[in-house]
Structure 1
Amino acid sequence: MAATPTFLLRVSVTTDVAIKVTLTKRPESVKELINILREKAKPRLDFEFTLHYEDPDFGGQLSCLLDIQELPEKVTLKIIRSERDTSSCASSDTDILPLVPISQRQKSWPDIFSVPTFSYEVEHVLEKGNSAFATSAKTLKLTRSQKHNILENMAALMYDFKPYPSDNDVGMAAEALVTAHPCLKEPGSVSGWCGWKMSLKFKMGDYRGKLSRSGCLEVSVNAGKRSKNYPDKEHPHSNIKRARRAEVNFLPNLPKGESQASLEEMRLQIMDEVQKSQQNLRLIEKLMQKTFALRRLEIIQENPQVKDFLGKWPALRIESQLCAEFQRITNVNLRNQFYAVLDQHTPRLMALYRQKAARTGKISEALRDILKIYELQEVHDVNMKRTLALRALPVYLREEDPQFFKTWNVEESDEPGIIDTPVALVTAVTEDTADPVNFSPASICIVVEDDVTMSDIPNLADAFALLIGLMYALHLDYPKTLINTFTFIQKIIMGLDDGKALKPRLLSLKNDLLME
C-alpha cells in the first residue's frame, strides 16, 4: 500500500515574512487550502487573495493555483491580493493598503507653497506691478478690495492644507506670496513679508469663523467659548481641538446625504458583520469608510474610554481596518512607511548602539545587555534586526519604562498582569526570563487602558506599527516616559512632521542617521 504523501509548503505571507506549513494530506480544494492558511497565519490573511506556486514545469515561474491536484508535495506558495479586494491596491505585496478615497482633505502642507490665482483684476494689477518693480524697484499699493481678494484666496488655499496652520506655515505662505509677486514686498521690512504674515494670520481666523458659522465640523467644534455675552465660558484659546500630530483629516464633515442617524445604522451593521464567523471584509471596509467622520466626531468630542469605543467599533481590532483608518487620518500607508524607513535606518541605528555600548555608564550597560542577547541568536533575520532597532531605541534616548515593556509567562498564568496599565506591549513567553528583550516571542499583545486591544502579534516591529495606528485612530497621548521614542517614530520613521522643532536629543540622533 502506497504511503500517504506529506505536503511541505513554504508560504510567503509578505515580502519579508514566510511560514512553514505541513499537511498530512492534500486538501479537497483550493478554497479549503486557503482556509487552512488563513487559520495558520491569522490575523495576517484577513483579506481576499489567490495562491500562486513555483511551477516546476516552467523553471520555478509563478503560476496561479486553480486546481488542487496541481499542488506539488514540496513547494513555495506566494499570497497575491485579489484585485476585487477593496482593501488592496495594484500590488503583490500583501502589506500594501489602498489610498483610501476620502471626500475631505487629501494632502498635507507642501514643502513649497504655490501661490493661487487671484481675480482677473488683481492678476492684471500684479503683472504690471511686477514689471515696474523689475525696472525701478517700485512697490505696488493695493486698494482695500484688491488686498482682500489676495488674502481671501490665500486663506482658502491654506485651509485646504490645514485649518490651523502653524506660525512657520503662515510665514512660508507669506514668503511665497512676495517671492511670486515682488511688487508686494514691504519697504523697510527685513524679510519683506512680515506684514503679510500678520495679515494672513488674522484672515485665517476670519476664514475659520465663516466656516464655523456654516457648520464645518473641524472648526465649529471649537466655537461657543468665552465671549462678551458668555463671560463664564472656557477661554477661547484653551483646549483647542485641532491636529497636533500632522493629521490630515482630523475631524471631517459627515458624508453628503448622510446624518448621524443613518451612519449609526451603518455602525450597527458593522458590528453584526464583525461578529460573524465568515466576515465580509469588503462590506466592512466600505462601511468603515462611510462612517469615518462619525468615529472621528465621537473620539474628538466625547473622548470615550478605549474599551467602550472599541466595543462600538470592533472592526478597529482588525489589523487591515486599523491600517486603513490610519491612512484615512494621515494619508500615509502605515506598514509601507514604517517598515521602509525603519529598514533604511536600522544598520545605522545598530552602529550607533554599538558605539554607545562601548562606553561606560548605565545606558551603555543596558545597550550591551540587549546587543549581547541579539548576538546569541542563531539567525539574524529582518524581524530580529527590527526588534533590536526598536527595543534599544528608548534606551539610547535615555528613556525607559518597565510598565511599557512587559513580559507574561503563559505557563504560569492565563492572563497578563495589566492592572493600572495605560499603554503597554506585553510579550508572551513560555519560560521565566529576566532578559530585557525577547527576539522570538510566543506572541505580543497591545494593552491600552487595562484592556488587551490587539493580540497574537508575531513580533515587536508589528506591535509598534499597530500601536502607532491605535495612537492615531483612538487619539491617544504618547506615554510621557517615552515621549522622545514615539516622537522619533512619528517624525523620522513615519514622516509625520507637525511643524514643531525636534528636541536636542532627537535632533542629534536625526543628524547622526543622515551621516550614514
Structure 2
Amino acid sequence: MAGKVTFRVLFGGEDDARKVTIESGIPITVEDLALKIKTFFQVTEQFRLQYKDKDMNDQFMNLLSTSELEDKGTLKVVYILNDTTRSMPLTGDACCTIPGTPSSASYSSQEPCDSDTSNDTIILSSSPETRSCSWPQTFVVPRFSSCAEIMLQTGNDEFKAHGTCLCPTPKVRSDILEGLAEEIIKYTAYPRDEQLEEVAKALTQSHPCLLEKATRTGYCGWKHYLKIKMMNFRTKLSRAGHPEVIINSLKNKRSGQQTPAANIKKPRKGDVNFCPNIPNGETRDSLEVERVALLTEVKKKKKDEAMIKEKMQRTFSLRRQEILQEPKIPEFLKKWPALFDVGEINLEFMRLTTVPLTSKFLGELHRLTNDLIRVFHTKGGAAGRKIRAVMAKTHNSEDINVRRDCVLSCLSIYLNEDLDTLVKEYVEVNPHGPEEPEVKRQVLAPKRVQYASDDSSAPNKKDSCCGLSAYELKRLENIREREAFLSSLKLLTAAEDLRQSVNPKPDVKRSKASLDKAQSLLSPRKSLRLEARNLTLRGKLTYEHDIECSEAKADVAGTTMAIYTVRAEGDDPDGPGGSLADVGVVLEGVEVLHNLESISHACVMLYGLIYALNLSYPKSLKNTFEAYQKILMDLESSKLSPKVQALKLKLLR
C-alpha cells in the first residue's frame, strides 16, 4: 500500500507506547511489518504482533494479515517468553516468530495431516552453532564502527542538502564491508548473486550518500566489493575452522576434484543449518559416544522416545558432517537408524530449514488444491486427457488421501513429468489363488494391467499365452509388465514343459512373429516374475503353488530412489473400497520407510529424506520437486525455473 502510515506501538502495556512511521505504507505481509518494527526499535527478542479488532470491542487479537490495519492504528508487541527463547542468545539475527502466519502455523485447523505432525513444533537448539532463521525478506543493514557511522551520518546530511555523494576512504569502506559480511554470515556463508545485490541495494537505501551515480543501478560497485569481500571472509573462516567452509577446502576434496571451484558443497535448497559446528563443550569423540548410546537405545523393544529425540538433537552436527561426506545409504542406515522414522524426519527437516515439514507441505497443498485443479483443467492435449483420467478417481472416493494423491500426480503431468516413474506398484498375492483362504505367507506381484472390453490393444490369448493353460494365463494377467517373462525363451520352454507334464497336448508352434506381437503389447515397467512349480489343474486335483520373489528383491536392490505401493489381490484400485496394504520408500536398494498412509505422505517423507541425506532431486521429476520446494514449502522461492514460474503465476490469478 502506497502512502506514509503511522502506528502506535505498545510494548507490554499502555505505560510504554511508542510511535513508528513507515514511509512506504503498510507492508504487504505480517513478517515485513514485524521486521520493520524489530529494526526500528532494535528489538532482539522473539515476539508476535497484536492489533485492536473493532469487531471484538477493540480487544487485542493476533495479527494474521496486514489488511486488518489502518493508518494511526495501535499495535502491541507480545514477547514470547519460554525456556528455549530465554536460553537463546539475544543477537541481531534472532527471528521474529509470528504465530498464525503460514511460516509458523501448524495448519491444524485445515486438514488432519499426520499423527506425528506435532513433532514439527519442536524448537531448534539454542546453541549458537546453529542458525535460527533463513535469509530475511528484507535485509537489515547493521551498525558499523563508530568512525564509519559518524562519516556516514555526515555524508547523508550532505546528500540531503546538496545531493553530494560520499567517497569513503579505504578504511571506512573496509569497515562497511566487514560489517556487512558479519551480518551475511549469520544466514549463509555462500550468498547467491541476487542476495548480494539485495544487500548492496539495502546499503544504498539506508545510506543514500553511498549511491554510485555513474552505474546503472547505483550499487553495482558495492555488489562487486561484497562478492570479493565474502571470498576473503570465507578464507578467514576456513583458517578458523568453520565447518561450512572447511568442507570445501582442497585437502577435503576427492582426488580429481582438487580445484577451488570443483564440487562446492553449499546450501542449494533453502537449507539454513547446512553444516553446523560442533556444540561448545563437545567433541567428535564425545558425540560418537552419544551416537553409540543412541544406537543401543533404538534396538531396544521398549524405546525411550524422549531420550532418542534428545540424542538426535545433540548429535545433529556430527550427523550432518558425516552426510556431507556422501556415505552410502545402507551404511548410513546402520549407523543412524533412528533418523529413518516419520517423526525424526520431520524434526531433522525442522533443524535444517526451521520450517515444519508435514504440516506445511500438506497444509499448503490443501490450501492450493482448488486453484491447482482450476489450472490443471486448462491443460489440453494428451496431458489434459491424463489429468482428467486421474482426477476421475476422486469422484468415487471421499478419502482425503486419494484426493491428495491425484493432485500430486496431476501436478507432475502438468509439468510434463510423470510421478509414476517414481512409484512402483505391486499386488499382494495369495499363493493358493484369490478364491482360496488366505495364508500367512504372502508374496508380491506387479499391479495387473487393465484392458477395456472393446480395447483393440488387449493381447490375443493364443499369442500371449503361447500354449499356457487358462489358469496360467489368469496368473500372468496379474503381472503389470511381462517383458522379463516373455522375453526369456528358457522360462517359456519351462512353462510349456510344465503344462505338458500336467495335461499333454499336441505341441504348439510358436512363431517369432507371435512372440514379437506379444512383447509389443507389454507395459514398459519393470515387474516381478512368478515361477510356478508343481502346477496341476484346478478342480479334482490338488495343487501347490511355490511363487518365488527373487526378482522382487533384485528389483528393489537395483532401485536408486522410489516409492512402492502394495495392494491386496482382488482390490479394485479405482473403486471406493480400493486401499493400499503398504506404502514405503526405497533408497539405494534399501527399504528405509514403510507403513505410510498414502502416496502423498510418501512424497512428503521422500522430500524430507532428500534434505536430511543431502540428495539431489530425481532428474525425471526435477520440476515436480522444485514445485514442492518453492510453491508448497516456499523455500528459495525467489528464483524459479520457467515451468514452475508459469505455474505460480497462474495460481496467483
TM-score range, shorter chain: 0.7 to 0.9
Other-structure match for 1:336: 359
Other-structure match for 1:450: 589
* Alignment partner of 1:170 is 2:196: yes
Aligned amino acid, residue 626 of structure 2: T
Other-structure match for 1:99: 123
Other-structure match for 1:513: 651
Map 1:108-507; keep pairs closer than 5 Å: 108-224=134-250, 234-301=258-325, 303-356=326-379, 359=380, 361-377=381-397, 380-400=398-418, 402-411=420-429, 413-414=443-444, 417-431=555-569, 440-497=579-636, 499=638, 501-507=639-645
Q: Distance in 2 between matches of 1:182 and 1:90?
A: 38
Aligned amino acid, residue 390 of structure 1: L
Q: Distance in 1 between matches of 2:286 and 2:258?
A: 32
Distance 1:311 1:102, change over 3 A: farther
Q: Distance in 2 between matches of 1:473 and 1:120?
A: 43
Q: Distance in 2 between matches of 1:202 and 1:498?
A: 26
Distance 1:435 1:507, change over 3 A: farther
Q: Distance in 2 between matches of 1:90 and 1:419?
A: 39
The 8 Å contact of residues 107 and 359 in structure 2, kept in 1 or not, is answered as no
More displaced 10-residue stretch of structure 1: 408-417 or 137-146: 408-417
SS of the residue 1:472 aligns to: helix
Distance 1:351 1:440, change over 3 A: farther
More displaced 10-residue stretch of structure 1: 316-325 or 365-374: 365-374
Aligned amino acid, residue 324 of structure 1: L
Q: Deviations over 1:185-223 (max 9, x none)?
A: 113112111000000111111111101000011001111
Q: Distance in 2 between matches of 1:181 and 1:174?
A: 11
The 8 Å contact of residues 107 and 360 in structure 2, kept in 1 or not, is answered as no
Q: Distance in 2 between matches of 1:364 and 1:433?
A: 27
Distance 1:437 1:282, change over 3 A: farther
SS of the residue 2:377 aligns to: helix
Q: Distance in 1 between matches of 2:614 and 2:312?
A: 17
SS of the residue 1:391 aligns to: helix
Distance 1:226 1:275, change over 3 A: closer
The 8 Å contact of residues 244 and 498 in structure 1, kept in 2 or not, is answered as no
Q: CA deviation at 1:99?
A: 2.3
The 8 Å contact of residues 130 and 183 in structure 1, kept in 2 or not, is answered as yes
Q: Distance in 1 between matches of 2:579 and 2:233?
A: 54
Q: Distance in 1 between matches of 2:427 and 2:556?
A: 13
SS of the residue 1:421 aligns to: coil
Other-structure match for 1:54: none
Q: CA deviation at 1:169?
A: 0.2
Q: Distance in 1 between matches of 2:231 and 2:319?
A: 27
Aligned amino acid, residue 255 of structure 1: P
Q: TM-score under structure 1 normalisation?
A: 0.77
Q: Deviations over 1:412-440 (max 9, x none)?
A: 62575424211111111012689699973
Aligned amino acid, residue 298 of structure 1: E
Q: Deviations over 1:42-78 (max 9, x none)?
A: xxxxxxxxxxxxxxxxxxxxxxxxxxxxxxxxxxxxx
The 8 Å contact of residues 116 and 154 in structure 1, kept in 2 or not, is answered as yes
SS of the residue 2:556 aligns to: coil
Other-structure match for 2:515: none
More displaced 10-residue stretch of structure 1: 100-109 or 162-171: 100-109
SS of the residue 1:222 aligns to: coil
Taking only the aligned residue pairs, the percentage that are identical comes to 35
Q: Distance in 1 between matches of 2:219 and 2:227?
A: 13
Q: Distance in 2 between matches of 1:131 and 1:437?
A: 74
Q: CA deviation at 1:362?
A: 2.1
Q: Distance in 2 between matches of 1:184 and 1:161?
A: 24
The 8 Å contact of residues 226 and 232 in structure 1, kept in 2 or not, is answered as no
Q: Distance in 1 between matches of 2:392 and 2:107?
A: 37
The 8 Å contact of residues 393 and 485 in structure 1, kept in 2 or not, is answered as yes
The 8 Å contact of residues 424 and 565 in structure 2, kept in 1 or not, is answered as yes
The 8 Å contact of residues 563 and 586 in structure 2, kept in 1 or not, is answered as yes
Q: Distance in 2 between matches of 1:236 and 1:344?
A: 44
The 8 Å contact of residues 559 and 589 in structure 2, kept in 1 or not, is answered as yes
Q: Distance in 2 between matches of 1:421 and 1:362?
A: 29
Distance 1:109 1:369, change over 3 A: same
Q: CA deviation at 1:272?
A: 0.8
More displaced 10-residue stretch of structure 1: 393-402 or 108-117: 393-402
Distance 1:235 1:128, change over 3 A: same
SS of the residue 1:284 aligns to: helix
Q: CA deviation at 1:461?
A: 2.1
Q: Which runs of 5+ in 2 are unaligned?
A: 1-81, 84-103, 109-114, 431-442, 445-548
Q: Distance in 2 between matches of 1:133 and 1:453?
A: 62
Q: CA deviation at 1:91?
A: 8.8
Moved over 4 A (4+): 89-94, 414-417, 432-439
Q: Deviations over 1:111-158 (max 9, x none)?
A: 111100011111111111101000101111212111111000000101
Distance 1:463 1:401, change over 3 A: closer
Q: CA deviation at 1:460?
A: 1.9
Count residues with an aligned counterpart.
419
The 8 Å contact of residues 571 and 579 in structure 2, kept in 1 or not, is answered as no
Other-structure match for 2:433: none
Other-structure match for 2:487: none
Q: Distance in 2 between matches of 1:244 and 1:461?
A: 24
Q: Distance in 2 between matches of 1:197 and 1:115?
A: 14
SS of the residue 1:160 aligns to: coil
Q: Distance in 2 between matches of 1:479 and 1:436?
A: 27
The 8 Å contact of residues 272 and 352 in structure 2, kept in 1 or not, is answered as yes
The 8 Å contact of residues 390 and 461 in structure 1, kept in 2 or not, is answered as yes
Distance 1:437 1:394, change over 3 A: farther
Distance 1:508 1:120, change over 3 A: same
SS of the residue 2:584 aligns to: strand
Distance 1:90 1:128, change over 3 A: closer
Q: CA deviation at 1:170?
A: 0.2
Aligned amino acid, residue 478 of structure 1: Y
Q: Distance in 2 between matches of 1:221 and 1:128?
A: 43
The 8 Å contact of residues 100 and 324 in structure 1, kept in 2 or not, is answered as no
Q: Distance in 1 between matches of 2:629 and 2:575?
A: 23
SS of the residue 2:330 aligns to: helix
Distance 1:259 1:436, change over 3 A: farther
The 8 Å contact of residues 273 and 284 in structure 1, kept in 2 or not, is answered as yes
